[in-house]
Structure 1
Amino acid sequence: MKINKIAIVGGGTAGWLVANHLGKALKGDKSASITLIESLDIPTIGVGEGTVPMMRDTLQHFGISEAEFISRCDATFKQSIKFENWLDKDRHGDNNFYHHLFDYPFPMGEDLTNYWLNKVATSPYSQTVSFQEAVCENNLAPKHITDPEYAGQTTYAYHLDAKKFAKLLAENATQNFDVSHVICNVTDVQLNKAGGIRSLITDNFGELEFDFYIDCSGFSSYLLGNKLGVKFIDQSSKLLIDRAITVQVPTNGQESLKPYTRAVAHKAGWIWDIPLPHRRGVGFVYASSYMSYEEALQKLSHYVGPDIESLTTREIPMQVGYRERFWQDNCVAIGLSQGFVEPLEATAILVTDFCAQHLAERFPRDREVLADLAKRFNDNVSYAWSKVIDFVQLHYYLSDRVDSAFWQDVKNEQMLSEDLRNKLLRWKYFSPKSTDFTSKYEVFDIENYLYVLYGMKFLTRPQQLNSVEEDRMAEIEAKVKQHAEYLSAELTEQRELIDKIKQYGLTAI
């Protein structure tokens, strides 16, 4: 039986990313139709979102102009996550920090990690292996106004307004990929004899029947979890963060725009701070077992300042974990309906984009291939989720903070997966290598681990260098520093470039 009629249940960033990926993949196939069904009664969660560099490739793949995206979505450039106070203040000083940069830490193609380990006290790891930290600390943009769209002097992603982003994606999907947009509430589901979904019952259009269903309904997981009964695997014993209080903080539009997300640790979690042109998206992320809502709100107020009294705050409970399966019969869950961990490292949009692309690469056009593709998808996505949890856990486990029960408890080695425990043991004697990451479904790879490990002062026994190696690597380090100084002098402050792009645009590739 052919699969021609496809329904996406739920809009927002997840639903419209799926619509664009599938629309692009099936463009020109006259027998295929895609309908996105969206309820206006369900609010979106985003208060300003962070992305990773993969989003540049995605937007370019969709045919979206970078200049239009920046203007329409209040986007700013993101080149790093700056982790502040994740280490003990007495040992490392007040306001200690490190950067998880987006540039690869292999300047001139050579890994300087062992060279840095032999001289670890002289400078931070990120300054030795990358010129991008200097760009970030000077609040500079990653590109010139003359650089083509999606090209830059450094690797970058974006901060963006999630609601405006979903609107832009919706326009692109409906206008360029012929995706139909239906506004209604899905009130029930009819199942078929095989245990899949036969049809949706809606308030405005009655019964709507499709061949394949994509669940982008958010935390409710209305199709896969609620109606098909796929269990949720709770991971709260591994990741203790389960709440966030969010607020949008207006700015005067004149401040210097930081080209990174701030992640500021506190006694029971951390604070995100995302700069957009006219506001900051701030979230106080915490573990409710270690801090009450009242204390969390008080600490958020202290961070934001007295203006918070006139602003609207919102508490978001977090279901930490993921579904036992993500694809069952003719239904796939993508986005929050699939799973969620705390927003450290911008995992939500990253995993959504990854899974939407994975689905679109081999979307089934015949029921005969459903079982094979479902198994492949479930295996790969389950692996990806397990590695996301490993990477987020790593940040807490490596911290040497002991100033609260939270920071003491998150360093319990038994909370780690066996694979992560083995890697950490190996990395005591050998720095990470690409062979430690053997699957293309590793959402975070060697470069991510290197920045976090050595930003958090992880100790690896250095391998001895001969004089020739040391001289060659010292020369590379000097070139990195020289290029950092060059970019610091040549690149434009971020807000200035954003304003120029809105006025003049960028050169299309």
Structure 2
Amino acid sequence: MVTPVQSVVVVGGGTAGWITAARIAAGHNTKSGGVRVTLIESPSIPTIGVGEGTWPTMRNTLRKIGIAETQFIRECDAAFKQGAKFARWVNGGAEDFYYHPLVLPQGFPKINLAPYWHQDSSGRSFSSAVCFQEAVCEHGLAPKLITTPEYAGVANYAYHLNAGKFAELLQRHCVEQLGVRHVLDDVTAVNAAPNGDITSVATAANGAIGGELFVDCTGFSALLIGKHFGVPFIDRSDVLFVDNALAVQVPYDDTDAPVACHTISTAQAAGWIWDIGLQSRRGVGYVYSSRHTDHEAALSTLREYVGPKLEALSVRRIPIRSGHRRLFWQNNCVAVGLSGGFLEPLEASALVLVELAAEMITEQLPPCREVMDVLARRFNQTFAYRWDRIIDFLKLHYLLSQRDEPFWRDNRTAASVPDGLQEQLQLWRYCPPGDHDFTSNKEVFPAASYQYVLYGMGFRTETRWHAHTMRQADRAREQFQQNDRVIQQALATLPKHRELLRKVQQYGFQTV
């Protein structure tokens, strides 16, 4: 007898739970009698609530589930994000910074400007020579105009958001607009069939809640994938050393204070500090390695960055265990969010992994139990690959630093560098990264992202080995000049970030 998948049970709320519930409910017509979606959320367990950085993928997620951009920005204290600025990562100097913008290099991928920039950079950073977005960010400008339709942009963009308010918006939208059943209750037991599948979860006040597919969004507790199924956790702290974060919400000095339109990541002796601008406040946190500093010294570093106002603010300490489950989908249970794993917040990979998981579950939701194992293997292969590639990309930031503190020296030891990344670096000393290096459709960071980080950190690719193939010098020169023209146009037309956010509050964007 074929067992159809008619009911999906999401255990756990927060951003991961509600995004997953929203994508499945919107994609499978829950409100009009399609696949039933139930979300069980404990009333006594708080969410982590510090995932404030997103990727441009969030625009598609919001569009897919039917939330207007104006509503999202108004209700989630959201601001625009156009990439990341890495300060003091190369040598620690006051003028040491580079950008990883969200706009691709000019002409990419039809022409790879990296070797031509190496040949004659004219003293300009790679990102400023090939992309207009660094100039936009340095001038504090928004990526669009108030007349630009929602989710469209002059420049590519993501968001900074208040994670708590975002979860509240998602919850309300799921229940009122998408037909998700919301159960506020504690899960007390997991009931299983002889074949190991979960048949239902027992709750304190609502009895047993059954389904054919269960999504574990219970955070670090990993109630289903970890505690019930016993899927082991693969620790990656041998590659990524940071294991603690001190997070604080910092109010602006006044209501007219500029809002940074990019994440600011400032390297410190034993880690780095994130600085994320929302409409009403900044989210600031020091991510550090307890093997290279202690709590009091870390707090002192954060105090030096934030200033005297830190004394009146509440600082949260958050443990970080970098790694992921050996499997993400076991039997009829799939882990999404922190239950599946976590990596430090550099490059904001946490939410995008949630989005990608929710998208794949939605688009390839097994119609019946009989094909679930096939889709589970595909899901596990896909996400094992994605986690490995993200770990490589994060390690790249540390590996290329010239800073001389023990934390940074230890990050350069060969034993801490994944073999695949070492091979790529060896290749890139003679050949600039290109799409040929990233042939999987499961890539998270494209070749352009590697170029921005490599050349921002001072890495050199020897162009003399390519002199006989560099036959597009005139076209490259045109692309550099075109980038300069786009910079001037953007600086002349784009509004200040704070100005656009106020206009969104007052007028809103054109709906599409």
Q: Same fold (TM over 0.5)?
A: yes
The residue correspondences of 1:45-444 to structure 2 (distance < 5 A) are 45-47=48-50, 49-89=52-92, 93-107=93-107, 109-120=110-121, 122-251=123-252, 252-402=254-404, 404-444=405-445
**1:508 aligns with one of 505, 508, 511:** 511
For 1:176 and 1:365, locate their aligned partners in 2 and report how far apart those are by CA, in whole Å. Answer: 24
What is the aligned partner in structure 1 of residue 483 from structure 2? 480
Question: Relative to structure 1, is the Cα distance of residues 20 and 297 closer, same or farther in structure 2, using a 3 angstrom cutoff?
Answer: same
Q: Is the 8 A contact 2:42 2:185 kept in 1?
A: yes
Which deviations, in whole Å up to 9, do the C-alpha atoms of 1:375-414 show, x marking residues without a partner?
1111111111111101100100011111x11110001122
User: Structure 1 pair 273/432, CA: closer, same or farther in 2 (3 Å)?
Assistant: same
In the alignment, is residue 36 of structure 1 matched against residue 44 of structure 2?
no
* Aligned-pair CA distance for 1:176: 2.5
Listed as ranges, the gaps of 5+ residues in structure 1 are: none
Give the distance between the partners of 2:377 and 2:41, measured in 1 at CA. 28
Shift of 1:302: 1.1
Deviation at 1:31, TM superposition (A): 5.0
Letter in 2 for 1:96: D
- SS of equivalent residue, structure 1 residue 190: strand
1:10-38 per-position Cα deviation (integer Å, ceiling 9, x unaligned): 11100011011111221167252100001
Q: C-alpha separation between the residues in 1 aligned to 2:150 and 2:459?
A: 38
SS at match of 1:50: coil
**SS in structure 1 at match of 2:188:** strand
CA distance in 1, matches of 2:469, 2:193: 69
Identity %: 44
Stretch deviating more after TM superposition (468-477 or 56-65): 468-477
- Once the two structures are superposed, residues 428-476 of structure 1 have per-residue CA deviations (whole angstroms, 9 ceiling, x without a partner) of 1000110100111111111111110111111101132789732332222
User: Matches of 1:330 and 1:55 in 2, distance apart?
Assistant: 27
What SS does structure 2 have at the residue aligned with 1:272? Answer: strand
Secondary structure of residue in 2 paired with 1:443: coil
Match of 2:460 in 1: 459
More deviation, 31-40/321-330? 31-40
SS of 2:472's partner is helix
User: 1:233 touches 1:323 (CA, 8 Å); kept in 2?
Assistant: yes
RMSD: 1.5
Greater shift in the superposed pair: 452-461 or 119-128: 119-128
C-alpha distance in 2, partners of 1:30/1:48? Answer: 33
Aligned length: 505
Counterpart AA for 2:115: N
Letter aligned with residue 77 of structure 1: F
Does the 8 Å CA contact 1:82/1:260 hold for their aligned counterparts? yes
Secondary structure of 2:240's counterpart equals coil
Quick check: 1:253–1:277 contact (8 Å CA) kept in 2?
Answer: no
Query: 8 Å contact 1:3–1:366 — kept in the other structure?
Result: yes
CA distance in 1, matches of 2:332, 2:382: 18
**Aligned partner of residue 249 in structure 1, secondary structure:** strand
| Distance 1:143-1:205 versus aligned 2 partners, 3 A rule | same
More moved, 461-470 vs 374-383: 461-470
Task: Assess if the C-alpha contact under 8 Å between 1:105 and 1:447 holds in 2.
Answer: yes
CA 1:6–1:88 in structure 2 vs 1: closer, same or farther (change >3 Å)?
Answer: same
Return closer, same or farther for 1:468/1:386 CA change in 2, 3 Å cut-off: closer
TM-score scaled by structure 2? 0.96
**Structure 1 residue 5: deviation in Å?**
1.7
Letter aligned with residue 250 of structure 1: P
Residue 48 of structure 1 contacts residue 274 of structure 1 at CA under 8 Å; is this kept in 2? no
Tell me the CA shift for residue 481 of structure 1.
0.9
1:187-245 C-alpha deviation (Å, 9 max, x unpaired): 22122211121221211112222221100000111110011111101111111011001
